[in-house]
Structure 1
């Protein structure tokens, strides 16, 4: 636009000159007809960032300092268009080697780099600063008590003493190295397979940091750490709470060593077994602001003030969130510290309901934080809210067990639980499972039933031992079955819940294992004897030596092998029985299932043979008597052979309250059923009872004689003849 104005102005002058006078360009005819100069600059013909200079009969434009022309001479003269000169680009050394150049419109600015200062007012005259001397004058300690400040060109380095390091950040204070935490003396024992390699690697890395010329690569070291932990975290390697504690402590110490060596502010690493995010901030002053770390299974919310701590600042602050993907099974025990969670008088059972996570911060005082941290943990399974379960926030303490001290549940739903804790460690959400409402009723039924069963078993033992008319192989089997069942019920009633001390609980579990196996072994012998009596008919007796070796020797052999292979499998935190975690329960399940299958076979064959015999009985015997005799015999066999345990096996999978009561009543009254079926319903035994009572209480003799038989002598003689013929009691 300025160009066209100037051109129009010149044209008008030319027209005026031709019309009024004959003066040249840029001249005007005065009143005296004299040509005088006209100042074209008054019309501002030049563009921005330029100056107009008037000449006789003309003018010209010139760019200001810091600008240059961008058009041809004609246009420049008329329009005066100028462009800024980038001095920083055209002259890279305009500010000197120790300054940074910043371009401005028509000018530039020089700023001295860190460690330099401008000695004069002119740019490009930056000189190095001796920070060490300045700090000494100001009575400041740049490197800490165990560091020496050395001035460098434009900077300074803190040279740390042996045993101290600044993790390669040479302008930070020196921190003490705790390399002893990675040996077998001051730290966790390297008994866990693979842990010794991690300790060796981390100790060497720790010692190398004492050399100021060595700067570790945090990312490489972090990758090596979690590659080494994958083998340890594989199933079957973590067998005890001590192993878990050793691994958790070692990994946390390693993160404290690796974190300050990471170059990036945020680092995320995923492996098949772990998921970690580490945040690091550095500076001369402690950082502030919130911290939010997250992964697929957990979220950490805290702040940098909590992460750095209130003590001496080491030049950096660190926060890390580590999630273990497959650590639930090894730590799904050790709940002995969890007390005070009873509901309506019922103590719950616990199980892990989230991934195990570790929170690591650079704050050395993690046992009493200035403000609590919030940890959100995702549940392993989405559970519908119910009165029979609740979620508890717990941490893994130094003794290798779960504890809730200092942690509480802030809020929870079907998928997540938010835990608020005043200290830091490894955390998880525990699901407290409360048994069905009638747990107290079941316990009462069990105690009453077992008490009745014990009394009945005492009567059975006395009967089978001293009743002469029924002596034989079956009676011997019944006698020792009752002895084993009596001992099992007595130990169960007295010691199943006595989990303390641990040694006593393991002894109770081993005894229960032995005597319950003994019960099933004698049940198997009962089935074998029934089969021989019904099928073989002749030569149905078995030598007592073989019976004792089988009935007591087989369970003893199984228990001894189990104790040698899995001694820690006896006793749990809830009851003194075989642990489900170590696989020892199969030393009971497999023999029991094998015996039950065999006894089912013997039971079917026995009932079938008995059915054939009943059909061939005297036709004068009423049909009702046949059905009654068959039913009584079948129930007796089912009771002795323990077929109700088949019902119990299905109940343990998924049972209702009614089924639980049925199973509890049948098993707790098993001794009473043995007494009823094999004593009270046996005519020979009733006759012996009547004979015994007749001596004690003579007036009742007639009543018992009437109850047992109208012709006692005939029945007894018949029983004697039957015993002499087969050596067994009647079925």
Structure 2
């Protein structure tokens, strides 16, 4: 079986070989078909294969191959086969590429750091420039350097390798401080300043880098070249290292202490002593002399000039000289304004490198000042506030500089100043015009009349460089603290005023006040203050009626008391003498009060005030004597009565001495604008109120001791009841009298400051005479007995007259004469 299979296979092979030999035997152009050679049919579509195209020729055909293919055995009639470009051209992908054959083509695979040229996969591999394409990892301190297939990072100039390896594996670079070991040349005035990777030469003011290169040396800037600074119409610019000087021509002077200050045509003669416009007539010569020295540009600081000037003004204010009239006060204000404008520029340093703004403040006992100044080629902007003790000034730099160019007085400088006078008492005449205007305004309302004007704040002078300040576009604000806390009321009002030539005026100012502060908003600048205006409410008919009726009743009762204590012999004694003179003093005081208290601004007003002062003090002196007498009656056993000479000296002599001393010390204190009484100015009311308080205190002390001793005697085993009962009665009435009289004058001393005080004083005053009559006459049993005898005698005489008249009518005239005679003897 196996033999048969082998023979069959061998037969088939022989047959194949026979057929093949037969086909090979055909001539060109013939093919074997059906056991014989027949003519071959050209370009039938299969001759050139899948990748070739048959092309007919005269002698047959050719096979044209597609790109990437070629004929077998280089025979143009053979079918097309693939060309292996990687074998044919091994360097087709370049030295760094890897060729990979594909059917009809090839691809070039590039390693890292390379890429196909023009991004064509069959193009050769070329190097990638990571530094140009910015796909590297170098930071800002490093420079990228391209390498074949990669890159490296090298430290830039000004940096160094942080790990000092110096290879392409640098991770970071540290900055090199060029200013440390070998500093570069920045010039003698430059300062080397290290920067990341480099350095700068920092130049001081007046110097700049050569060629405007920040690392170039610093050289001096010639300010006088090109666009020179303004040295004024009389100045010549001279360059100096780092700055410049303004040299003034003859007839010109510096406007400030700086060497670069502009030169202005300004004569210092106007500040000479005794100049023509000095209204004070040489009284303020020391202050004017200080101004003249400042004008001549003394080589000293502005702070020192301010201290020296305030020292001069301090002596003037403390002595009270040179400010006694309105012209001297106006001159003082003018001097301070001129001084502030001269001192202000001295606060700026002489070198351009120093601050272009200055500030100074100085406080003395009677005066204080604060200045602020700015210098520049353009006016400054923004708010500015100055403050001294109890006063502040708010404005803006724009207002201080003014519109247009800087003021000619100090070119390039803007000065703001506030001067505060802590104890400036302006003359009374400075209130007159304001008082008349305010009274005219209040008179139209028919409600109240102005009584008094007084300054209740520091007087301040606010001044700026701007010379046009009489009508400002925007109001300035000044805040004052009151010297005393009082709320505004119908009778009290705070008024913002300014010094207008020689008097106070409220034109252009509005105020807003609390009990402690007043804010003044004004459309101009000058010297300012806050006045307290006191108004006196017009007397009503009811108040006048109470005064008339009350004083009439008081005078009638006091007149009866005088007759009683003077004519009743059974009650004569030391205590009765005291009551007599007490009643007499009060009677005269009330009578003068009723007749002359309203004679204000008329002849004799001061005399009326002086008499009232004297008799009211005398009344209180006799009250003190009564307290002393009671004390002696209780404490002493023998010689308890006071000597008449001593009583007269104490009751009339001591008040007279007080009145004389007061009149000599302040004669203007007797009489006010509204009443003939003691003035409230300068505390003159204490010439009366002080002694009264002392008397009330001493009497209270004597009465307390008296009551204490009286209580001891009442609790003793064998009291003398008759004497103790009498002393007890005397003491109680005296204490009641002291309470009423003392309480009445607690209101009376301030009766012209409040309407309620006026009514209380009037009512208590009307009860004063009646109370003395009740206490010392009606409540005293011996006096009541005398009154009873007097009344019984009158009734007896009346009955006797009636009886005689009825029995003998013709004797009526004689009876009436006898009755009158008897009455007069009592």
Please give the range of the TM-score, normalised by the shorter of the 2 chains: 0.5 to 0.7
Indicate the residue corresponding to 1:117 in structure 2.
Answer: 225
CA distance in 2, matches of 1:185, 1:247: 13
SS, match of residue 264 in structure 2: coil
Superposed displacement of residue 507, structure 1: 4.8
1:546-565 → structure 2 map (5 Å cutoff)? 549-565=649-665
Structure 2 gaps, min length 5: 1-92, 98-125, 147-154, 191-200, 349-355, 803-817
Match of 1:644 in 2: 740
After TM superposition, give the deviation of residue 516 of structure 1 in Å. Answer: 1.8
Does structure 2 conserve the Cα–Cα contact (< 8 Å) formed by 1:180 and 1:186?
Answer: no
Which residue of 1 is the match for residue 768 of structure 2?
Answer: 670
Q: Matched residue of 2:225: which SS?
A: strand
Provide closer, same or farther for how the CA distance between residues 586 and 161 of structure 1 changes in structure 2, counting only shifts above 3 A.
farther
User: Aligned-pair distance for 1:539?
Assistant: 10
1:269 equivalenced with 2:367 (yes/no): no
The gaps in structure 1 that reach 5 residues or longer are 1-11, 17-37, 55-62, 119-128, 133-141, 618-625, 703-712, 724-731
Contact 1:381–1:415 (8 Å) recurs in 2: yes
- 1:546/1:464 CA distance change after superposition, 3 Å: farther
Range 515-524 or range 452-461, more displaced:
452-461
- Aligned counterpart, 1:313: 408
- CA distance in 2: counterparts of 1:51 and 1:593, whole angstroms: 100
1:362 paired residue number? 465
Report the Cα distance in structure 1 between the residues aligned to 2:310 and 2:690, rounded to whole angstroms.
39
1:442–1:271 Cα change, 3 Å: farther
User: Do structure 1's residue 516 and structure 2's residue 637 form an aligned pair?
Assistant: no
Instruction: Give the distance between the partners of 1:693 and 1:397, measured in 2 at CA.
Output: 78
Distance of 2:556 and 2:279 partners within structure 1: 58
Contact 2:228 2:237 in 1 (8 A): yes
Please tell me whether the aligned partners of residues 498 and 576 of structure 1 are also in contact (alpha carbons under 8 angstroms): yes
In the alignment, what sits opposite 2:208?
100
2:246 is the counterpart of 1:157: yes
Instruction: Identify the match of residue 521 of structure 2 among 420, 430, 447.
Output: 420
Q: 2 CA distance for matches of 1:679 and 1:522? A: 17
Structure 1 counterpart of 2:510, from 396, 408, 411: 408
Contact 1:464 1:470 in 2 (8 A): no
Q: For 2:408, what is the secondary structure of its paired residue?
A: coil
Per the alignment, residue 447 of structure 1 pairs with 547
8 A Cα contact 2:744 2:765, kept in partner:
no
Rg larger for: 2
In the alignment, the residues of structure 2 paired with residue 109 and residue 92 of structure 1 have an alpha-carbon distance, to the nearest angstrom, of 5
The structure showing larger relative contact order (alpha-carbon pairs under 8 Å, at least 6 residues apart) is 1
Superposed displacement of residue 115, structure 1: 3.6
1:208 maps to 2:293: yes
1:418 aligned counterpart, secondary structure:
strand
Are residues 1:218 and 2:302 paired? yes
Q: Deviations over 1:184-237 (max 9, x none)?
A: 99365898xxxx7xx63x44442224546x334111222344567778888x98
1: CA distance between counterparts of 2:633 and 2:267?
83
Secondary structure, in 3 states, of the residue corresponding to 2:257? Answer: coil
Q: What does residue range 490-505 of structure 1 map to in structure 2 within 5 Å?
A: 490-493=591-594, 496=597, 500=601
After superposition, the Cα gap between the structure-2 partners of 1:443 and 1:359, relative to the gap in structure 1 and judged at 3 Å, is farther
Which has the higher mean CA deviation after the structures are superposed, 330-339 or 426-435? 330-339
Moved more, 345-354 or 216-225: 345-354
Whole-Å separation in 2 of the counterparts to 1:53 and 1:530:
123
Q: How many residues align?
A: 622
Q: Is the 8 A contact 1:162 1:210 kept in 2?
A: no
Structure 2 counterpart of 1:456:
556
Alignment-derived partner of residue 32 in structure 2: none
C-alpha distance in 2 between matches for 1:114 and 1:504: 82
Would you say 1:258 and 2:343 are equivalent positions? yes
What SS does the aligned partner of 2:519 have? strand
Structure 2 length-normalised TM: 0.55
The DSSP-based 3-state class of the residue aligned with 1:116 is coil
Q: Partner residue of 2:63? A: none
Hey, what does 1:171 align to over in structure 2?
262
1:316-355 aligned at under 5 Å gives the runs 316-322=413-419, 327=423, 337=434, 339=438, 345-346=447-448
Q: CA RMSD in A?
A: 6.9
Cα distance 1:211–1:250, how it changes in 2: closer, same or farther (>3 A)? closer
Counterpart in the other structure of 2:105: none
Look up the SS of the partner of 1:117 in the other structure: coil
Q: Distance in 1 between matches of 2:358 and 2:653?
A: 64
Provide the C-alpha distance between the structure 1 equivalents of 2:95 and 2:313, rounded to a whole number of angstroms: 94
Cα distance, 1:599 vs. partner? 4.8
When residues 69 and 471 of structure 1 are mapped into structure 2, their CA distance, relative to the original with a 3 A threshold, is: closer
The structural deviation recorded for 1:320 is 1.9
- Hey, what's the Cα distance between the residues in 2 that align with 1:531 and 1:587? 27
